[in-house]
Amino acid sequence: MNKRIFGVLGIVSRMSNWNADFSGYPKTTSDGSVFGSDKAFKYPLKVMWNEQGEKVLYIKSLKLQENKKGEVEIIPRSLKERYEYIFEVEDLKKVKNRKIVLTNLFSAIDVKNFGATFAEEGNNISITGAVQIGQGFNKYEDTNAEEQQILSPFRDASEKLEKKKDKDEEKEDAKATTLGTKIISDEAHYFYPFTINPTAYDEYRKLEVTEGYTENDYIRFKETALVAATSFSTNAKIGCENEFALFVETEKDLYLPDLSQYIKFNKTEDKNIINIECDELINGLNSKIKNIEIYYNPYTTVIKTKIEGVKYFNIFTKEEVQ
Q: How confident is the model at residue 158 (pLDDT cuts 50, 70, 90)?
A: low
Q: Are 308 and 286 in contact (CB under 8 A)?
A: yes
Which residues span the domain enclosing 200?
4-66+73-142+183-314
**Does residue 204 share a domain with residue 79?**
yes
Residue 246 within a domain: yes
Q: How far apart are the first and last CA of the chain?
A: 29
Distance from CA of residue 129 to its chain's centroid? 15
Residue 160: pLDDT above 70? Answer: no
Residue 319 lies in a domain: no
- Which residue from 96, 74, 75, 93 is spatially nearest to 84, judged by alpha carbons? 93
Q: What percent of the chain has pLDDT over 90?
A: 79
- Asked if 27 and 21 count as a contact pair (C-beta separation under 8 A), the reply is yes
58 assigned to some structural domain:
yes
CA distance 198 to 210: 12
From 295, 285, 127, 98, select the one nearest 212 (Cα to Cα). Answer: 127
* Same-domain status, 298 and 212: yes
- What is the tens place of the pLDDT at every residue in 217-260? 999 999 999 999 998 866 557 889 999 999 999 999 999 999 99
Say yes or no: 156 and 216 in one domain: no
Are residues 122 and 40 both part of a single domain? yes
Same structural domain, 254 and 294: yes
- Under a CB-based contact definition with an 8 Å cutoff, are residues 109 and 55 in contact? yes
| Whether residue 174 sits in one domain with residue 25 | no
Count: domains in the chain:
2
Q: Residues 152, 187: one domain?
A: no
Domain membership of residue 321 (yes or no) is no
On whether both 293 and 239 belong to a single domain, the answer is yes
Rounded (10°) angle between helices 38-51 and 215-225:
100
User: Do the domain assignments include residue 32?
Assistant: yes
Tell me: do 44 and 99 sit in the same domain.
yes
Same domain, 132 and 214: yes
Does the pTM of the predicted model rise above 0.85?
yes
Residues 168 and 274 in one domain: no
135 and 30 share one domain: yes
List of residues 6+ apart from 84 with CB closer than 8 A: 90, 91, 92
Confidence class of residue 303 from pLDDT cuts 50, 70 and 90?
A: very high
